[in-house]
Amino acid sequence: MKAPANDPLIQIQELNVEYRTLRGAVRAVENVSFDLYANEVFGLAGESGCGKTTVANAITRLLKPPAYITGGRILFRDIDILQMSPEQLRNFRWDQLSIVFQSAMNALNPVLTIGNQIIDAMQAHQSISYEQARGHAKQLLRTVGIDVQRVDSYPHQLSGGMRQRAVIAIALALNPELIIMDEPTTALDVVVQKQILQEIKDLRDQFGFSILFITHDLSLLVEISDRIGIMYAGKLVEAGPSLEIFADPKHPYTDRLMNSFPTVHGPRRELLGIPGAPPDLIDPPAGCRFHPRCELAIDGECDKLIPPLIRIGGERDVACHLIKEAEVVS
């Protein structure tokens, strides 16, 4: 699936983020760039610690010391989020951009009912009465598949799946254009996970918002995303239409990631996994950061030269020395 021809809703341009520690600076995100379009689901995948959540927190400006954005721009309809004042940022969050965090129990306030948490989000940004907000809260709960009687329930009174739906309802409260979903189904069993994914698809079709969907499960992203970006050790190593990447991964890391998860359908096959461990980002290896774990690495090239992210045809971008010159689009 090609990226839409219209202008991007949000553009991440050469984003750099580091965590400053006593040992030195951890370069968690390095020169990451991608666009996300209206009514599109863009998936971001990679192992734990590759920088996915750091990218999400940079977009929402939720990073706090010792994390620092050291370079790049994040443009939302040509307005740089990184240059917004505190007041502009307050108006921007929830109204135009919201986030669904990985752990619903930690994201919800344990001493407020689900209804009051939705109401608070609406009244903080809109001139709306309590009665109107409560009515809208009930409608949102109904929309995400929760019985409206649960409007007065506390988070601990809900199941894991219901809590995740409640967090999604809060994210939808102001009908934002972009919702960031940071591993929203990780803690759920596979049956509930499937239900939540279907509801996310239905809600996207109903409300027309865009989604930045973050997970380590690449097979999950193929199911829900239009396009996918693969991150490794703080860098974007491959990006393109989800079905194309699923059918023909170009980067060795993407291929290994694809073969690290069992399939529910189809023939049984041996899972390959990925040998070794991600590098120390305080002192990452020279050249391609994946080369110490890559069985296809070229001596004298992959261990010395940093591969640029290049367009190889259509909407495919890959950062790998194994890509032949004939595949590159000038």
* Second-level CATH architecture of 8-96+176-329: 3-Layer(aba) Sandwich (3.40)
pLDDT band, very low/low/confident/very high, at 313 (cuts 50, 70, 90): confident
Nearest CA to 196 among 319, 15, 204? 204
The DSSP bridge partners found for residue 20 are 25
Q: What distance in Å separates the CA atoms of residue 142 and residue 268, rounded to the nearest whole number?
A: 39
Judge contact between 329 and 313, C-beta under 8 A.
Answer: yes
- How many CB atoms neighbour CB 53 within 10 A? 19
The answer to pTM > 0.75 is yes
Angle at 237 (CA atoms; ends 39, 208), nearest 5 degrees: 5
Decide if pLDDT at 71 tops 70: yes
Element (H, E) at 107: helix 104-107
Decide if pLDDT at 264 tops 60: no
Q: What distance in Å separates the CA atoms of residue 292 and residue 260, rounded to the nearest whole number?
A: 18
Helix (H, G, I), strand (E, B), or coil: what is residue 152? helix
| pLDDT computed for residue 177 by the predictor | 96
| pLDDT computed for residue 4 by the predictor | 46
The C-alpha torsion from 279 through 280 and 281 to 285, rounded to 10°, is -60
Whether residue 66 is preceded by a cis peptide bond, meaning omega within 30 degrees of 0, is yes
How do residues 76-135 score in pLDDT, each as one tens digit? 999 999 999 999 999 999 899 999 987 777 889 999 999 999 999 999 989 999 999 999
The DSSP bridge partners found for residue 42 are 212, 227
Q: What distance in Å separates the CA atoms of residue 217 and residue 138, rounded to the nearest whole number?
A: 32
Give the residue-averaged pLDDT of 56-63.
96
Decide if pLDDT at 325 tops 90: no
